[in-house]
Amino acid sequence: MFGTHDFLLFVLSGLLLNITPGPDLIYIVSRSTSGGMGKGLVAVAGIGAGCLVHIVAASLGLSAILATSAMAFIVVKVVGAAYLVYVGLNSILSSSKGLATKLNQVPSAVSRRKVFVQGFFTNALNPKVALFFMAFLPQFISPNASCKAGAFAFLGIVFWINGMIVCMLAAWLSARLASNLLGNRGIMRWFERCTGGLFVFLGIRLAMAENA
Give 158-199 pLDDT, tens digit per residue: 999 999 999 999 999 888 887 666 555 555 566 667 767 776
The pLDDT value given to residue 109: 40
Structural domain tally of the chain? 1
Nearest Cα neighbor of 202 from 20, 40, 8 is: 20
In a domain, 15, yes or no: yes
The pLDDT value given to residue 182: 53
**Could you read off the pLDDT of 42-93 as tens digits, one per residue?**
999 999 999 999 888 877 876 566 566 777 667 767 876 787 787 777 767 7
Q: Does pLDDT of 106 surpass 60?
A: no
The pLDDT value given to residue 42: 95
Q: Does pLDDT of 105 surpass 70?
A: no
Q: Are 32 and 195 in contact (CB under 8 A)?
A: no
Nearest Cα neighbor of 168 from 54, 24, 51, 56 is: 24
Q: Is the dihedral of CA 170, 176, 182, 186 positive or negative?
A: negative
Q: What's the Cα-to-Cα distance from 33 to each of 1, 94, 121, 193, rounded to whole Å?
A: 40, 14, 20, 12
For residue 2, the SS3 value is coil
In a domain, 123, yes or no: yes
The pLDDT value given to residue 185: 57
The pLDDT value given to residue 167: 93
Q: Who wins on pLDDT, 186 or 201?
A: 201
In a domain, 2, yes or no: no
**Could you read off the pLDDT of 115-164 as tens digits, one per residue?**
999 999 988 888 778 777 777 777 787 877 777 778 888 888 999 999 99
The pLDDT value given to residue 191: 61
Helices (H), 61-139: 63-68, 70-94, 99-103, 109-124, 127-136
48: Cβ–Cβ under 8 A, 6 or more apart, which residues?
Answer: 160, 163, 164, 167
CB-count exposure of residue 31 (10 Å: 0-12, 13-18, 19+): buried
pTM of this structure: 0.70
For residue 141, the SS3 value is strand
In a domain, 136, yes or no: yes
Residue 141's beta-bridge partner residues?
Answer: 4
Q: Which domain holds residue 29?
A: 7-207
The pLDDT value given to residue 168: 95
**Could you read off the pLDDT of 3-42 as tens digits, one per residue?**
788 888 888 888 887 887 778 888 898 888 878 889 999 9
Q: How far is CA 200 from the centre of its chain?
A: 15
pLDDT grade, residue 100 (50/70/90)? very low
